[in-house]
Amino acid sequence: MSPRTKALYLVLLALLLIVPFQNMVYIVFVMKLLCFALFASAFNLLLGYTGLLSFGHAAFFGGAAYVTAHACKAWGWTPEMGILAGMAYAAITGWAFGSLAIRRQGIYFAMITLALSQLIFFLALQLKFTGGEDGIQGVPRGKLFGLIDLSSDTALYYFVLALALFGFLAIQRAIHSPFGQVLKSIRENEPRAISLGYDVAKFKLLAFVISATLAGMAGSAKSLVFQLATLTDVHWHMSGEVVLMTILGGIGTILGPVVGAGVVIGLQNYLAGIGSFSTIVLGAIFVVCVLAFRRGIVGEWLALLERRRAAKAEAGYRES
Amino acid sequence: MSEAAGEPILQTEGLTKEFMGFVAVNDVGLTVKRGTIHALIGPNGAGKTTCFNLLTKFHKPTSGRIVFKGADITDKTPSQIALIGMVRSFQISSVFPHLTVLENVRVGLQQRLGISMHFWKSEKTLDRLNDEAMHCLGQVGLAEFADRTAVSLPYGRKRALEIATTLGMNPELMLLDEPTQGMGHEDVDRVTQLIKKVSAGRTVLMVEHNMKVVASIADTITVLQRGSVIASGTYAEVSANPQVMDAYLGTTTTEGLGAH
């Protein structure tokens, strides 16, 4: 990591740490942002680093939200246990869905994940405990480890921030691990990875499970922040939204999904006044992005830096 | 490589592949001897690449057996056979474009550490492979490009990188699918010499179109036509075979092939 990147991360972290001590940005909004940034980053592990486009990640995000909400509300579990339950659900569903979906490639993979996630949507709509159209409301935030009361926004904020940081670090590590190297090689050239002796199905499945689990963690955290789990979270719109965030921010970049989540959530918030027209604006932005800057915001920025670096190196070479 | 040279390392019996009624490979019996460079040639559509894909398990044979080092590998998967010493390349250059040249080789080397599923370890644990990766790159003359991304290399060097990655797997049998395809003269010569050099102590089976390459480095040549073997032997033997001349030139006069 270059010193400049390190400095950027430190500044970001410092800004995040002081959020509760200012009045310019609404703290619940930042928590929402963190949840979605984590969701998109988990998704990016699959799309950006393994080359698999899942169109069913709402099943993990929203499903985990329901599990956490139910565990905390009906069974009175502490928040950390509720979140672990949500993650366990996401890991198991991720394993089941992943095992089926990785048998196919490309658009078929996406369609299978979409179909399976619709099953979860149906369950959320029909099962008793999920409360149908109402969802699960009034989820207690509870006491972390039975000690720290999370009903204050500040306490909950630091908890969510810690979760998100844990998630980002886990993803960062997975990308830069021996496992991550093989994932990238599968993304780059799958037949070649096979011919080097890698059983690619195993790698794709593990990537899918990790991605689903962390997406679940994001959904669980969100259900505590809003004290709510609803059908919106498991709807296929949500699966699409995370694709949008990741592509807009920059596939296969560390900060891309975070920026993408910020842009999408920020715009939704800002455009809330014009109601359903906001999707038209978002759609238009997406079209512009795909046509004009395909690498996404962060992707284009990195490409620009790379070009400048290359030009400088070239100039240096000529002078010497 | 303790076994004596000249013994068969790879054998097929009655290898057949049908695609919806079309017989692409028909009853092929192939014997590749240890320590040799064996070329598989034939006109376009003769079934060379299909044959290759059968040997490396990318296709399932309709019938027939494949025996590698005395063991039946007909029912193995492509990744399994890579681990028992048979590594292939592809017709189109198969590098990992956005990894660095060093990483390209290291991904292959990493296989044997058995830590490839370890998503919690730092990639620094792979640094101990760097020396060996550089050694592989040195063998194909790419050491100075180690930090560049593979996509930025010119075509000939990409093929060299592919060979370096394959070498890293330390295969007993290397299968090269048209290693000189689409290359200019200098590159063809360079890659030919490279294959000759890295074949020391190994066995090479290659599909090749370029007769000059085949004539200069292959010990044994098998000619395929319409999915069947029509001749097998040294270059001199094969080029004197009337059926081969017919397949290549549509004539049985000997002058034609002499001009090659």
Q: What residues in A contact B113, CB-CB < 8 Å?
A: 178
- Chain B interface mutation, best of A49, A179, A195, A210, highest count of B Cβ atoms under 10 Å: A195
Q: Hey, what are A16's tokens? A: 């995040």
Q: Which uninterrupted H or E stretch holds A194? A: helix A190-195
Task: Give the chain A residue nearest B105 (alpha carbons).
Answer: A196
- Chain A interface mutation, best of B86, B119, B167, highest count of A Cβ atoms under 10 Å: B119
Size of interface A-B (CB pairs under 8 A): 102
Look at strands A228-229 and B22-28 and give their pairing.
unpaired
A75 Cα to chain B: minimum distance (Å): 33
Share in percent of chain A as helix, strand, coil (round to 5): 75, 0, 20
Cβ pair B107:A182 closer than 8 A: yes
CB of B165 within 8 Å of a chain A CB? The answer is: yes
- Numbered residues of chain A with Cβ closer than 8 Å to any chain B Cβ: 173-174, 176-182, 184-185, 188-189, 191-200, 202-203, 206, 210
Cβ pair A203:B97 closer than 8 A: no
**What pLDDT shows up at residue B258?**
42
**What pLDDT shows up at residue A320?**
54
Least confident of A134-138, B164-168, B205-209: A134-138
> pLDDT by residue (tens digit) across A205-232?
999 999 999 999 999 999 999 988 888 8
Q: What residues in A contact B119, CB-CB < 8 Å?
A: 173-174, 177, 179-180, 206, 210
Topology (CATH level 3) of domain B8-91+173-187+200-258: Rossmann fold (3.40.50)
**What pLDDT shows up at residue B249?**
63
Cβ pair A177:B108 closer than 8 A: no
CB A250 within 8 A of CB A302: yes
CB of B56 within 8 Å of a chain A CB? The answer is: yes
Q: What residues in A contact B88, CB-CB < 8 Å?
A: 195
**With 50 as the cut, is the pLDDT of residue B39 above it?**
yes
Look at strands B203-207 and B173-177 and give their pairing.
parallel
Q: Hey, what are B176's tokens? A: 């090269």
Task: Give the chain A residue nearest B122 (alpha carbons).
Answer: A177
**What pLDDT shows up at residue B230?**
87
Alpha-carbon gap, residue A165 to A163, rounded angstroms:
5
Q: What percent of chain A has pLDDT over 90?
A: 49
Cβ pair B111:A198 closer than 8 A: yes
**With 80 as the cut, is the pLDDT of residue A148 above it?**
no
Q: What percent of chain B has pLDDT over 70?
A: 93
Q: What residues in B contact A185, CB-CB < 8 Å?
A: 96, 99, 107
**What pLDDT shows up at residue B240?**
83
Alpha-carbon gap, residue B187 to A258, rounded angstroms:
45
Select the residue of B78, B121, B169 nearest A178 (Cβ to Cβ). B121
**With 70 as the cut, is the pLDDT of residue B254 above it?**
no
Select the residue of B78, B80, B96 nearest A188 (Cβ to Cβ). B96
- Burial label, A4 (beta-carbon count in 10 A; 0-12, 13-18, 19+): exposed
Q: Chain-wide mean pLDDT for chain B?
A: 85
Q: What residues in B contact A191, CB-CB < 8 Å?
A: 58, 90, 94
**What pLDDT shows up at residue B1?**
42
**With 50 as the cut, is the pLDDT of residue A161 above it?**
yes
Q: Which stretches of B140-233 are DSSP H helices? A: 155-168, 185-198, 211-217
Half-sphere exposure of B92 (CA within 13 A, CB side): 5
Q: Which residue has the higher pLDDT, A269 or A53?
A: A53
In 3-state terms, what secondary structure has residue B223? strand
**What pLDDT shows up at residue A185?**
94
- Average pLDDT for residues B107-124, to the nearest whole number? 86
**With 50 as the cut, is the pLDDT of residue B228 above it?**
yes
In 3-state terms, what secondary structure has residue B18? strand
Cβ pair B110:A176 closer than 8 A: no
Q: In chain A, where are the structural domains located? A: 23-235
**What pLDDT shows up at residue A319?**
61
Cβ pair A194:B82 closer than 8 A: yes
ipTM of this model?
0.83
A185 Cα to chain B: minimum distance (Å): 6
Cβ pair A178:B113 closer than 8 A: yes
Q: What residues in A contact B98, CB-CB < 8 Å?
A: 184, 188
pLDDT bucket at B259, cuts 50 / 70 / 90: very low
